[in-house]
Structure formats: C-alpha cells, structure tokens
Amino acid sequence: MKILVIGLGYIGLPTSIMFANHGQEVVGVDVSERVVKSLNNGTIHIEEPGLQEELDRAIEVGNFRASMQAEEADAFIISVPTPNNNDALKSCDLSYVKSAVVSILPYLKKGNTVIIESTIAPRTTEDVVKPILEEAGFIVGKDIFLVHCPERVLPGQIIHELIYNNRIIGGMTEACTEAGKKVYGVFVKGELISAKASTAEMSKLMENTYRDVNIALANELAKISADLGINAIDVIDMANKHPRVNLHFPGPGVGGHCLAVDPYFIAAASPDYSPLIQQARAINTSMPSCIVAQVKTMMERVGGKKIAIFGLTYKGDIDDIRESPANEIWEMLIKETSYEIVAYDPHVNIPAVEKNSEIATANADLLLILADHAEFKTLNMDSISNMNQQIVFDTKNIANELATAETYIHMGNLSEISRESVESQILAV
Ligand code: SAJ
C-alpha cells in the first residue's frame, strides 16, 4: 500500500515512520522546507524517544521520503494542526484541515481512503470534509472511503502507544470503517474499534476534557486546602485509596496541544450546554497567575532578588513548550523587573534558556520547579547548596529530597504562603 501523510509533526511523523517500517511505501508531506530537508537528510526535528532510530531504519529500507508536494497514493492521512480560533469560545480552526483535503483532491482516485487524524470539532467529518469530497464528484462510502481516526498517544511514549493502544476507526459508512481498519491493521496491535465518525470525534475530545475537568478539580482542591490550612496532596493520597476514586494532581496549570485546547472545541460547538467544561478551563488557565502571585509573596517575605526556574515544558521529559503554563509563568515573571530570572531546562534548546543548572541556582533566593523532568526528581541539597537562600517552590511535588530545605512549598502545603495571596486568586476565577 502507498500512504501519503500530510503534516509531519508530533503525530504525523511517527505515524509515517511506523507505516514505513511495516512494509508500506510512505510519502510524508509538509509545508515546511526545513522539516522536509531535515527528514530527507535523515534527522528528525522533534524530540521523541526511539524515533530517530526508527527513521534511520525506514530510510535504510527506502520506504520513507518527505516532500512538499502531494501525489497519488492508496490512503491519505491528514495530520495537520487544529488550533483554537481567536473567538470568544476558542472554537476549532479547521483551515489547515480544509486546505490539506483540498490539496489532495487532484490526486484522489476511486477506491482511495481518506483519514482525518487531526483532532477536530464534533461533526467536522460529516459537515465539513464530506462536502468537499462530494463537490469534487466522489460518492463517500462508494468511491472514496472517509474516516476519522483520532490519535491517542502520549508524547514521550508515542512509538509504543501507536502500536499497542486501541484505535477508534470512525467511518462515514460501514465500508469506510472497514477501509480504515485495513490501513491501521498494518501495524496496530491494539483493538480496532468501529464507530461512527461523529462518535470518534466526540470521544477523542471527551477523553482530554475528562482529564482537564479532573485536573481543575485537583487545582480547586489545592486552593480550598490552602484556604483551610489542609494538605491537599495528603488528601489526594488518602482519597485515592478508595477503590473507585482517582483524583488527579494540582500543578502550575494544564498545557500541551490537547487538554488545553480540545475542551474548547466542545464548548464552542455547544456553548449553552457546557458550563462545567468552561469553568474547568477557567480554573486551569488561572493557575499560572496563581503561582506567580504566590512566588511574589514568597520573594517579598524573604527580600529575594533572583529566581531560578527549573522546567519550561508543559510536562516532564519532553521538549514541547507549546501551550506550556511553565513558559507562561516564566514570561510573567520576566515582566516583574525587580527580579533576576534564570530559566534552566535540559530539554529546551533556545538561547534564552540556561543549560547549566549550577549557573541557574547560583545566588538564587528561590528555586521554582515547574516541570516534572526525570532530572529534577533526583535534585538534592547539594544541587541547591550555591543558592543565596534555600527556598524551594516545587509545583510538581517531585523533588522530595529538597523537603529539608529552609522552606519547601508544594501544591499540598500552599497554606504556608500568606493566606491573602491565595484568597485573591480564588476570587479571580
Ligand atoms: N497535568 C496536571 N495534573 C495531572 C495530570 C496532568 O496538572 O494530574 C497536566 C500536565 O502537567 C500537562 C497537562 O496536564 O500540563 C497535560 O498532560 P497529559 O499528560 O495529561 O496529556 P498530554 O496533553 O500530553 O496527552 C493527552 C493524553 N490524553 C489523555 O491522557 C486523556 C494523550 O493520550 C492524548 O493522545 C493527547 O492528550 C492528545 O493528543 O490528545
């Protein structure tokens, strides 16, 4: 089978390489010349464990090449970004999906399968994509098989999860679903679950919304516990001993291109019926300013000047700072001109980010941990011995060996910071 994958990002690239390494001829198409050149020269442009080795293999066998131009194929997989629109409810921007579909029209033949992997607003496959194919003269379900097959992989574990996760195959018709199963059956070892396209769209969105709402509940618990002088982390540990309870964890906010984006697609599609989803988003987006307020209170109390930020990515062990609350906090603190801010992140390669942890902590008054990178889990008192004052605010509650520092604050014991700053943030939501 020849497969054309449009969009060589965090999902499209690993997906292309998996097909290539399972005996298919794959052409990956991307609008970025830099990405296409880099891949054809054998170098991946994203950080994902094991992916470089997989690309090496695909190129050696000769099954993968990148191109800026679409061409004929048996199956077309669209894996382009779907950001939020800049409207009141941050609806789903389908412009990249639409132009990707239009770009393959000249190369479509009867019998081809068109798969949308991009995360899309409910009903998009039926109401937006299908009409484009029909206008080009194809009968969906007979000439062309149209499927929405959302990806559900976790960054950092993409290769394993692509193979072993269950996959929802949401066809416009049963024949479409069958065609989609034939494509993914090439390498997916998880169950291929038949669904309607609209069910597939909504279930993908709800998976991330479920997590977002639960994290909002944990963040609200952290604020309530700060107000009432209770340790939120102890509460979560305790409550989760109940066999049917799974409280999530509070933190500096919710980032990434999924949890912080997808709930809006549902809210915008059905604004009157989604108050809980909208409120959860508001709670989670309030967290960066909540953390900044607490940092300011701590710095004021100790007369501090320098803050060392550890971790800018939206979660641990990845290099992705898109939609990262840590990055937002960094930007907010930089604006506070009375502080000297040094950000250290071993995973982020941009000039403004310090690469040496000792330079970051030297003479610092506060260590602010914002990402749960493996490197930070082993921080110990030696790691912070060159600080001016050993004050630690560990928003991910991971550097437990720092618990003996002069002050060790995490999302459980926020009540140790002044009550007023927390209260003002509660009111802000
Ligand atoms: N977070 C918390 N508290 C928690 C758990 C996470 O604050 O208890 C934060 C993280 O720090 C991060 C954000 O939430 O900022 C999102 O992290 P994540 O690990 O939950 O999710 P993603 O965005 O990396 O990946 C999610 C996954 N979805 C689910 O687990 C339901 C993944 O399976 C999806 O494929 C992916 O979204 C996607 O592409 O939709």
From the CB of 14, is ligand 1 less than 6 Å away?
no
Q: Which protein residue's CA is at the shortest distance from atom 14 of ligand 1?
A: 254
From the CB of 227, is ligand 1 less than 6 Å away?
no
Give the CATH number for residue 380: 3.40.50.720
Eight-class DSSP state of 125: I
From the CB of 161, is ligand 1 less than 6 Å away?
no
- The catalytic residues are 204, 258
DSSP E strand boundaries for 56-175: 64-67, 75-78, 113-116, 145-148, 167-171
Phi and psi angles of residue 144, each rounded to the nearest 5 degrees, phi first: -130, 140
Q: Which protein residue's CA is at the shortest distance from atom 13 of ligand 1?
A: 254
Using the predicted structure, report yes or no on whether residue 207 has a pLDDT greater than 60. Answer: yes
Please give the number of the atom of ligand 1 that sits closest to the Cα of 318: 24
Task: Please name the residue that has the structure tokens 């003002």.
Answer: 424
- Is-contact 324 350, C-beta < 8 A? no
Whole-angstrom distance, CA of residue 339 vs CA of residue 394: 19
The mean pLDDT of 109-126, rounded to a whole number, is 98
Q: Which protein residue's CA is at the shortest distance from atom 32 of ligand 1?
A: 154
Residue 80 has what pLDDT? 98
Where residue 89 falls among pLDDT bands split at 50, 70, 90?
very high
Please give the number of the atom of ligand 1 that sits closest to the Cα of 155: 24
Domain termination residue (choose one: 178, 200, 222) = 200
Using the predicted structure, report yes or no on whether residue 4 has a pLDDT greater than 80. Answer: yes
Q: Is 256 left (phi over 0), alpha (psi -120 to 50) or beta?
A: left
Domain termination residue (choose one: 165, 200, 235) = 200
Q: Are residues 295 and 279 in the same domain?
A: no
Q: Are residues 167 and 310 in the same domain?
A: no
From the CB of 215, is ligand 1 less than 6 Å away?
yes
The 10 Å Cβ neighbour count of residue 142 is 12
Please give the number of the atom of ligand 1 that sits closest to the Cα of 255: 15
The mean pLDDT of 201-215, rounded to a whole number, is 98
* pLDDT tens per residue across span 373-427: 999 999 999 999 999 999 999 999 999 999 999 999 999 999 998 555 545 554 4
Domain termination residue (choose one: 137, 172, 200) = 200
Q: Are residues 6 and 62 in the same domain?
A: yes
Mutate to test the pocket of ligand 1, among 154, 161, 203, 236 (most ligand atoms within 8 A of CB): 154
* 3-state secondary structure at position 394: strand
Residue 427 has what pLDDT? 45
pTM: 0.92
CA of 314 to the centre of ligand 1 (A): 9
From the CB of 216, is ligand 1 less than 6 Å away?
no
* pLDDT tens per residue across span 27-67: 999 999 999 999 999 999 988 899 999 999 999 999 999 99
Q: Are residues 142 and 237 in the same domain?
A: no
Q: How many domains does the chain have?
A: 3
Whole-angstrom distance, CA of residue 377 vs CA of residue 141: 52
Whole-angstrom distance, CA of residue 341 vs CA of residue 336: 9
Please give the number of the atom of ligand 1 that sits closest to the Cα of 208: 31
Using the predicted structure, report yes or no on whether residue 12 has a pLDDT greater than 90. Answer: yes
Q: Which protein residue's CA is at the shortest distance from atom 28 of ligand 1?
A: 208
Residue 425 has what pLDDT? 52
Q: Are residues 137 and 162 in the same domain?
A: yes
Where residue 88 falls among pLDDT bands split at 50, 70, 90?
very high
Q: Are residues 214 and 328 in the same domain?
A: no
Q: Are residues 363 and 388 in the same domain?
A: yes
Domain enclosing residue 27, as ranges: 2-200
Residue 419 has what pLDDT? 52
Give the CATH number for residue 266: 1.10.1040.10
Q: Which protein residue's CA is at the shortest distance from atom 9 of ligand 1?
A: 254
Where residue 155 falls among pLDDT bands split at 50, 70, 90?
confident
CA of 259 to the centre of ligand 1 (A): 6
Using the predicted structure, report yes or no on whether residue 106 has a pLDDT greater than 60. Answer: yes
Q: Are residues 291 and 280 in the same domain?
A: no
